[in-house]
Protein backbone atom coordinates (compact mmCIF):
# COMPACT_ATOMS: atom_id res chain seq x y z
CA UNK A 1 0.00 0.00 0.00
CA UNK A 2 1.16 3.52 -0.78
CA UNK A 3 1.17 5.68 2.36
CA UNK A 4 1.25 9.47 2.28
CA UNK A 5 2.60 11.47 5.20
CA UNK A 6 1.84 15.19 5.36
CA UNK A 7 3.43 17.81 7.60
CA UNK A 8 4.34 21.48 7.53
CA UNK A 9 7.09 23.84 8.61
CA UNK A 10 6.74 27.53 9.36
CA UNK A 11 3.17 27.73 10.57
CA UNK A 12 3.83 30.19 13.38
CA UNK A 13 6.64 32.60 12.42
CA UNK A 14 6.10 36.21 11.43
CA UNK A 15 8.66 35.92 8.62
CA UNK A 16 8.92 33.58 5.67
CA UNK A 17 6.72 31.00 3.94
CA UNK A 18 4.56 28.19 5.25
CA UNK A 19 5.93 25.01 3.66
CA UNK A 20 3.85 21.82 3.37
CA UNK A 21 5.28 18.47 2.26
CA UNK A 22 3.47 15.35 1.14
CA UNK A 23 5.72 12.26 1.26
CA UNK A 24 4.52 9.13 -0.56
CA UNK A 25 6.16 5.78 0.17
CA UNK A 26 5.33 2.11 -0.20
CA UNK A 27 4.57 0.52 3.14
CA UNK A 28 7.29 -2.09 2.51
CA UNK A 29 9.94 0.67 2.37
CA UNK A 30 9.16 2.16 5.79
CA UNK A 31 11.93 0.13 7.51
CA UNK A 32 14.46 2.11 5.43
CA UNK A 33 13.24 5.31 7.07
CA UNK A 34 13.67 3.75 10.50
CA UNK A 35 17.23 2.68 9.65
CA UNK A 36 18.06 6.24 8.65
CA UNK A 37 16.85 7.52 12.02
CA UNK A 38 13.85 9.45 10.73
CA UNK A 39 11.92 11.33 13.40
CA UNK A 40 10.25 14.68 14.00
CA UNK A 41 12.42 17.32 12.31
CA UNK A 42 12.39 19.46 15.47
CA UNK A 43 14.24 16.65 17.27
CA UNK A 44 17.07 16.63 14.72
CA UNK A 45 19.97 19.04 14.32
CA UNK A 46 19.94 21.13 11.15
CA UNK A 47 23.00 19.28 9.81
CA UNK A 48 21.26 15.92 10.27
CA UNK A 49 18.13 17.17 8.49
CA UNK A 50 20.22 18.44 5.58
CA UNK A 51 21.91 15.03 5.31
CA UNK A 52 18.67 13.06 5.50
CA UNK A 53 16.53 15.13 3.12
CA UNK A 54 18.14 14.02 -0.18
CA UNK A 55 18.19 10.39 1.01
CA UNK A 56 14.49 10.56 1.83
CA UNK A 57 13.71 12.00 -1.59
CA UNK A 58 15.51 9.04 -3.20
CA UNK A 59 13.56 6.47 -1.16
CA UNK A 60 10.17 8.12 -1.77
CA UNK A 61 7.79 6.91 -4.46
CA UNK A 62 6.96 10.58 -4.86
CA UNK A 63 6.82 13.78 -2.86
CA UNK A 64 5.32 17.25 -3.21
CA UNK A 65 6.42 20.49 -1.56
CA UNK A 66 3.99 23.41 -1.56
CA UNK A 67 5.04 26.85 -0.36
CA UNK A 68 2.68 29.62 0.71
CA UNK A 69 4.42 32.98 0.82
CA UNK A 70 3.88 35.54 3.57
CA UNK A 71 2.09 37.74 1.05
CA UNK A 72 -0.27 34.90 0.06
CA UNK A 73 -0.95 34.09 3.71
CA UNK A 74 -1.91 37.71 4.42
CA UNK A 75 -4.25 37.78 1.43
CA UNK A 76 -5.88 34.43 2.24
CA UNK A 77 -6.29 35.23 5.93
CA UNK A 78 -8.50 38.17 5.02
CA UNK A 79 -10.98 35.59 3.73
CA UNK A 80 -10.37 32.51 5.90
CA UNK A 81 -8.10 31.09 8.64
CA UNK A 82 -4.74 29.35 8.58
CA UNK A 83 -6.20 25.89 9.21
CA UNK A 84 -8.42 26.11 6.14
CA UNK A 85 -5.47 27.37 4.09
CA UNK A 86 -3.50 24.29 5.16
CA UNK A 87 -6.41 21.93 4.56
CA UNK A 88 -6.88 23.13 0.98
CA UNK A 89 -3.19 22.51 0.23
CA UNK A 90 -3.33 19.08 1.87
CA UNK A 91 -6.36 18.15 -0.22
CA UNK A 92 -4.45 19.19 -3.33
CA UNK A 93 -1.48 17.00 -2.36
CA UNK A 94 -3.72 13.99 -1.64
CA UNK A 95 -5.54 14.31 -4.96
CA UNK A 96 -2.21 14.63 -6.79
CA UNK A 97 -0.46 11.63 -5.23
CA UNK A 98 -3.49 9.31 -4.83
CA UNK A 99 -2.35 7.27 -1.80
CA UNK A 100 -4.09 4.24 -0.30
CA UNK A 101 -3.65 5.77 3.15
CA UNK A 102 -2.75 9.24 4.39
CA UNK A 103 -1.40 10.26 7.79
CA UNK A 104 -1.47 13.95 8.70
CA UNK A 105 0.05 15.92 11.55
CA UNK A 106 -3.10 17.78 12.60
CA UNK A 107 -2.81 21.43 13.67
CA UNK A 108 -6.20 21.10 15.40
CA UNK A 109 -6.75 19.40 18.76
CA UNK A 110 -10.04 17.95 17.50
CA UNK A 111 -8.44 15.50 15.07
CA UNK A 112 -11.73 13.84 14.05
CA UNK A 113 -13.17 17.17 12.98
CA UNK A 114 -9.96 18.01 11.13
CA UNK A 115 -10.13 14.66 9.34
CA UNK A 116 -13.67 15.40 8.15
CA UNK A 117 -12.59 18.79 6.81
CA UNK A 118 -9.73 17.24 4.85
CA UNK A 119 -11.95 14.51 3.40
CA UNK A 120 -14.58 17.02 2.23
CA UNK A 121 -12.75 17.69 -1.05
CA UNK A 122 -10.71 14.52 -1.50
CA UNK A 123 -11.62 12.68 -4.69
CA UNK A 124 -11.19 9.19 -3.16
CA UNK A 125 -14.02 8.97 -0.63
CA UNK A 126 -12.81 5.52 0.49
CA UNK A 127 -9.39 6.82 1.46
CA UNK A 128 -8.07 5.66 4.84
CA UNK A 129 -7.14 8.89 6.61
CA UNK A 130 -5.44 9.28 9.98
CA UNK A 131 -5.09 12.72 11.59
CA UNK A 132 -3.09 12.92 14.81
CA UNK A 133 -1.44 15.57 16.95
CA UNK A 134 2.35 15.08 16.88
CA UNK A 135 2.04 12.50 14.08
CA UNK A 136 5.60 13.40 13.05
CA UNK A 137 6.82 11.70 16.23
CA UNK A 138 4.80 8.51 15.75
CA UNK A 139 4.73 7.89 11.98
CA UNK A 140 7.87 7.56 9.86
CA UNK A 141 6.23 8.86 6.67
CA UNK A 142 5.12 12.02 8.51
CA UNK A 143 8.57 12.39 10.04
CA UNK A 144 10.04 12.26 6.53
CA UNK A 145 7.58 14.91 5.34
CA UNK A 146 8.51 17.02 8.36
CA UNK A 147 12.23 16.83 7.56
CA UNK A 148 11.80 17.76 3.90
CA UNK A 149 9.40 20.61 4.71
CA UNK A 150 11.82 22.00 7.30
CA UNK A 151 14.90 21.79 5.07
CA UNK A 152 13.07 23.43 2.16
CA UNK A 153 11.87 26.27 4.38
CA UNK A 154 15.35 26.70 5.86
CA UNK A 155 16.74 27.15 2.33
CA UNK A 156 14.21 29.90 1.67
CA UNK A 157 15.05 31.63 4.95
CA UNK A 158 18.77 31.56 4.10
CA UNK A 159 18.00 33.19 0.73
CA UNK A 160 16.02 35.91 2.50
CA UNK A 161 18.90 36.48 4.94
CA UNK A 162 21.30 36.86 2.03
CA UNK A 163 19.04 39.36 0.28
CA UNK A 164 17.71 41.41 3.20
CA UNK A 165 20.09 40.82 6.08
CA UNK A 166 20.03 38.41 9.01
CA UNK A 167 16.71 38.44 10.89
CA UNK A 168 17.10 35.32 13.01
CA UNK A 169 14.59 32.48 12.98
CA UNK A 170 11.64 34.65 11.98
CA UNK A 171 9.67 33.66 15.08
CA UNK A 172 8.08 36.21 17.39
CA UNK A 173 10.01 34.96 20.43
CA UNK A 174 13.34 35.62 18.70
CA UNK A 175 14.84 38.92 19.90
CA UNK A 176 16.90 39.20 16.70
CA UNK A 177 13.74 38.93 14.60
CA UNK A 178 11.96 41.59 16.65
CA UNK A 179 14.95 43.95 16.49
CA UNK A 180 15.14 43.47 12.71
CA UNK A 181 11.45 44.24 12.26
CA UNK A 182 11.63 47.35 14.44
CA UNK A 183 14.64 48.63 12.54
CA UNK A 184 13.04 47.86 9.17
CA UNK A 185 9.79 49.68 9.96
CA UNK A 186 11.77 52.64 11.30
CA UNK A 187 13.71 52.97 8.03
CA UNK A 188 11.06 51.93 5.49
CA UNK A 189 7.64 52.60 7.10
CA UNK A 190 6.23 49.41 5.53
CA UNK A 191 7.25 45.76 6.00
CA UNK A 192 8.70 43.77 3.08
CA UNK A 193 6.75 40.99 1.36
CA UNK A 194 8.41 38.20 3.37
CA UNK A 195 6.85 39.50 6.60
CA UNK A 196 3.34 38.33 7.52
CA UNK A 197 1.68 41.69 8.03
CA UNK A 198 -1.50 40.05 9.35
CA UNK A 199 0.45 38.63 12.32
CA UNK A 200 -0.17 40.38 15.62
CA UNK A 201 3.58 40.79 16.17
CA UNK A 202 4.00 42.78 12.94
CA UNK A 203 0.88 44.84 13.60
CA UNK A 204 2.03 45.80 17.10
CA UNK A 205 5.50 46.82 15.94
CA UNK A 206 4.03 48.99 13.18
CA UNK A 207 1.47 50.55 15.54
CA UNK A 208 4.16 51.35 18.11
CA UNK A 209 6.27 53.03 15.44
CA UNK A 210 3.31 55.07 14.16
CA UNK A 211 2.48 56.19 17.71
CA UNK A 212 6.09 57.27 18.25
CA UNK A 213 5.97 59.29 15.02
CA UNK A 214 2.69 60.94 16.03
CA UNK A 215 4.18 61.75 19.42
CA UNK A 216 7.16 63.48 17.82
CA UNK A 217 4.93 65.66 15.63
CA UNK A 218 2.72 66.51 18.63
CA UNK A 219 5.72 67.86 20.54
CA UNK A 220 6.69 70.23 17.73
Q: Which CATH architecture has domain 2-161?
A: 2-Layer Sandwich (3.30)
What is the average per-residue pLDDT within 212-217?
58
Distances in Å between the alpha carbon of 219 and those of 177, 213, 214, 215, 216?
Answer: 31, 10, 9, 6, 5
Q: What pTM was computed for the model?
A: 0.92
What's the pLDDT score for residue 107? 94
Q: How many C-beta atoms lie closer than 10 Å to residue 125's C-beta? A: 6
What's the pLDDT score for residue 218? 47
Summarised one tens digit per residue, pLDDT across range 127-164 is: 999 999 999 999 999 999 999 999 999 999 999 999 99
- Whether 13 and 170 have beta carbons less than 8 Å apart is answered as yes
Question: Could you tell me the residue ranges of all domains in the chain?
Answer: 2-161, 164-215
What is the average per-residue pLDDT within 203-219?
74
Q: Which residues pair with 8 in a beta bridge?
A: 20
122-126, 184-188, 209-213: least confident range: 209-213
Cβ within 8 Å of residue 43, ≥6 positions away = 137
Query: What is the 8-class DSSP label of residue 109?
Result: S
Alpha-carbon span 34 to 104, nearest angstrom: 18
User: What proportion of the chain, given as a percentage, has pLDDT over 70?
Assistant: 96
* pLDDT of 191 higher than 70: yes
What's the pLDDT score for residue 4? 98
Determine the CATH number of domain 164-215.
1.10.10.460
Amino acid sequence: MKILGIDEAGRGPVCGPLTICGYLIDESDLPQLKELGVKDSKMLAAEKRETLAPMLKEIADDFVVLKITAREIDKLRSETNLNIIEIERMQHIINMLKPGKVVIDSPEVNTKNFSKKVMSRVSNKNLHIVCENFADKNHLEVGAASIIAKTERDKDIRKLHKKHGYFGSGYSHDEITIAFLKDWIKRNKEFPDFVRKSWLTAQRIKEQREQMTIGKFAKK
